[in-house]
Structure 1
Amino acid sequence: MTRIPEKQRHSIADWILSEGRKLADAKQFFDGLNDAFRRAGVPVERALFSLFVIHPQTAATGFEWRADRATVEIMRGRSITTSDAYLRSPIKRIHDGVDLLHAPLKGPRASREFPFFDELRAEGFTDYAAFAIPFGNGQRNVLTLTTRRPRGFTKAQIALVQGVLPLVAMVFEIHWGRRIAEAVLDTYVGRLASGRILAGSISRGQGERIDAVIWFADLRGFTALSDLRPTADVIAALNQFFDALGGAIESHGGQILKFMGDGLLAIFPVEDAAFRHHACRQALEAALAAHAAVAEINAERAAANAPMLRFNVALHVGVVVYGNIGSATRLDFTCIGPAVNLTVRIEGIAAKLAVPVVMSAAFATVVRESRATVVSLGKHSVKGLMAPPEVFTLAELAPAPALVSTPPRTEAA
């Protein structure tokens, strides 16, 4: 039996229980853990922590730590589980039930079992150890340690690491429980709502006033598409549509609040008065980028003889009430208020005029500062609003004057 150095084991365990468990995130904990290993005499120079996650696009995530560089977070797509690199890796062996895989990389006993070991040898590493880190739900995660020490890890050092793994697993499981909750909530309710839910703002009626750009889009002709096409085709079309819009919104700093059938509501928060112009400009660029992305999709759909996707975007800037609304047993974070109502209503004007992007007067006032021309589409009576709102668009998107309710006026930047 290998004798575990009690003093070193206690030093690592004491650090985990006194300092490590209090660190803000898993990355900080992993940095500190490897420093604690080194202080206890474990000559680790490269370490990897890997675990499977619940996420629509990501199968595994983790960290790579090195003694001579900053720790990096690693994310693997869902295809990794069927890749040759994974199937022929020591990590796969741990996932399959092995608790410890200790493999010398240099010398007469050097392991040639996994192609990945050749990469480590090329970097001068001499020894490799992979450990199972099981969570309470049975999920098997992996910690790997690599060294350049000429004689590799001793049996006592391997035993030392094994002795503190239950504590390591406990801390990682706490961190990843929160990460999983964040990922699932981000996916299903959005970043803005997920942060509030995890912070405890879950009482019905809680809300706050937010200055924001409201971004509303609606797919035209969806009812006909639903009636005429198979359900699978309709779902695929909606996913294509929302992928295009979601990518444009998020890449320009917006946050999707909800999908409403064939519509989408998003906001671009205005952090302060100085940021107002930037938020409006980003929202407008997102609308144009969304139309460009859908145009590319339509080119592919045309080649497949599939119906085109047509939509309009309405933009407004104002104050919304963002809060927790619903029944006693089913709540939803959403935006309400006159600003949201106006945005939804003017989208209907865009559909009537066949204009891809329309803006409220408040939004147009801000963006005209950075665009060549903003054109009025006149005032239009809409249901739910006492005063007919005036709507605007970019000059290059304006329809023929005959379609506009009142004579258009052009406002130069």
Structure 2
Amino acid sequence: MDAIDDLNRWMMTEGRVSNDPTKVVSHFCTTLIDAGIPLWRANIGQRFANPLLIAWGIVWTPESTETYDVTHARMLTDGYIGSAFEYILENQRPLHKSLRDLDPETDHVSYLELAQAGGTDYYATLLTYGDQSQHGCTFATQSPDGFSAKHLQMIEAAKPGLSAALEPVTMRKSSKSLLRTYLGDGPSEAVWSGTIQRGERTTLEAVVMFSDLRGFTALSDCSEESVVFDALEGYFDVVVQSVEEMGGDVLKFMGDGILSIFPIRSAADRAHQCQQATRAAKGVLSGLATLNQRRAETGKPPLDIGIGINVGQVSYGNIGSPGRLDFTVLGKAVNVASRIEGLTKAIGQRVLATRSVAETTPELFTACGSHEVRGLAESVDLFHLSDPT
């Protein structure tokens, strides 16, 4: 067992501080092979503390090492139900299973796929971390003799080192994923690095897009909560997907309002980001049309929105009390985007933009006059999309 002792030492020292899960798993598996374990495939699954993703993991083979994510929805499918991961978590014990003579009617599809690829034997076991969270790992072989009792003992003996190396990686990934889920990519990185503390702010130029669901108050007043949440989730999906596809960050959900920004990192980037925000707005309208088709098929009323786009200087940072913070973005550019969105219904256009945005793609916009905007001394020239489709 000297090789396993050496492996544990490496995992608890170099592996633990590497912050490279692919390197850790690759070293773990190749060392097991060198120690005499006929390893063909390994799947190291790590559970997330995240409302969107429930797990991530690494699949190792001698040819490649790949990472994957698992959503909560996946846990309700046949991909998880009846799998080895479900078994070990539910029964709190390892699983050793031959991949020979499987029954297609009763054996899980993952076993059948491994057997079809040449697998002969399979072992699944738990990793337990310091916070008592549990994670799974599975191993498969193509050896005609399968895994021996000694092989399984060696795998179990090597688990403390693997846990020591992967636990800090998993904790960091969980924390970062939570920040990204609630703050978006750019702000989450700033908060994670500690550059935005309470009272601090970052000032930058950005394109601001504010979208709002029309008729939301009436929908809330006359509908059950499940109906309201269903409408919000569909609307949020459409906006977030469109913004992120165009490289923007969704910063805030405010009831049915969504605040997004497209940061401008240089003068040369200004026109491009205005165009990206415009494309995102068009993507929202297209996505909403598709959503409304699906809603109509189930007898649900259509949803409508208003979008305001502006560009200018904004400041974002953490505000609040010593024990409770909120991440927010402030500035005149934000206020104008919000208030011109409020004019969309009165003007009769779903997307309105200021001149500084519209002039970057004049072929996409049509002037709709100068309008008074609450809080501003001077009226603002507004433009609507010439072809919203």
Tell me, yes or no, whether TM beats 0.5.
yes
Which residue number corresponds to residue 350 of structure 2? 356
Residue 292 of structure 1 pairs with residue 286 of structure 2: yes
Residue 256 of structure 1 pairs with residue 241 of structure 2: no
Which residue number corresponds to residue 387 of structure 2? 396
Deviation of the 1:265 alpha carbon: 0.4
Higher deviation after alignment, 210-219 or 50-59: 50-59
Identity %: 32
Aligned residue among 222, 230, 243 for 2:224:
230
Change (3 A) 1:305 1:46: closer
Change (3 A) 1:367 1:29: farther
Distance in 2, matches of 1:234 and 1:125, equals: 49
Deviation of the 1:306 alpha carbon: 4.1
Which residue number corresponds to residue 32 of structure 2? 37
Distance in 2, matches of 1:246 and 1:158, equals: 46
Which residue number corresponds to residue 185 of structure 2? 191
Give the letter aligned to residue 92 of structure 1: E
Residue 374 of structure 1 pairs with residue 365 of structure 2: yes
- Kindly provide the CA deviation profile for residues 226-272 of structure 1, in whole angstroms up to 9, marking residues without a partner as x: 33333332232222222221121122221111011221100112233
Deviation of the 1:305 alpha carbon: 5.1
1 or 2 for the larger relative contact order (CA 8 Å, sep ≥6)? 2
Secondary structure of the residue that 2:243 maps to in structure 1? helix
Change (3 A) 1:229 1:285: same
Distance in 2, matches of 1:138 and 1:129, equals: 22
Superposed, which structure 2 residues align to 1:327-366 within 5 Å? 327-366=321-360
Q: Give unpaired runs (5+ residues) of structure 1.
A: 399-413
Deviation of the 1:359 alpha carbon: 1.2
TM-score (norm 1): 0.84
Contact 2:12–2:165, Cα closer than 8 Å, also in 1: no
Residue 203 of structure 1 pairs with residue 197 of structure 2: yes
TM-score (norm 2): 0.89
Deviation of the 1:34 alpha carbon: 1.8
What RMSD in Å do the two structures reach over aligned CA positions? Answer: 2.6
Deviation of the 1:43 alpha carbon: 3.0
Change (3 A) 1:290 1:124: same
Contact 1:248–1:286, Cα closer than 8 Å, also in 2: yes
Higher deviation after alignment, 194-203 or 97-106: 97-106
Secondary structure of the residue that 1:13 maps to in structure 2? helix
- Kindly provide the CA deviation profile for residues 207-237 of structure 1, in whole angstroms up to 9, marking residues without a partner as x: 1122221111122232233333333322322
Higher deviation after alignment, 151-160 or 282-291: 151-160
Q: Give unpaired runs (5+ residues) of structure 2.
A: none
Which residue number corresponds to residue 213 of structure 2? 219
Give the letter aligned to residue 135 of structure 1: Y
Secondary structure of the residue that 2:112 maps to in structure 1? helix
Contact 2:305–2:350, Cα closer than 8 Å, also in 1: yes
Distance in 2, matches of 1:74 and 1:141, equals: 15
Change (3 A) 1:41 1:79: same
Which residue number corresponds to residue 374 of structure 2? 383
Which residue number corresponds to residue 147 of structure 1? 141
Aligned residue among 162, 182, 185 for 1:168:
162
Give the letter aligned to residue 13 of structure 1: N
Aligned residue among 79, 84, 90 for 1:90:
84
Deviation of the 1:332 alpha carbon: 1.6
Distance in 2, matches of 1:117 and 1:307, equals: 45
Distance in 1, matches of 2:88 and 2:364, equals: 62
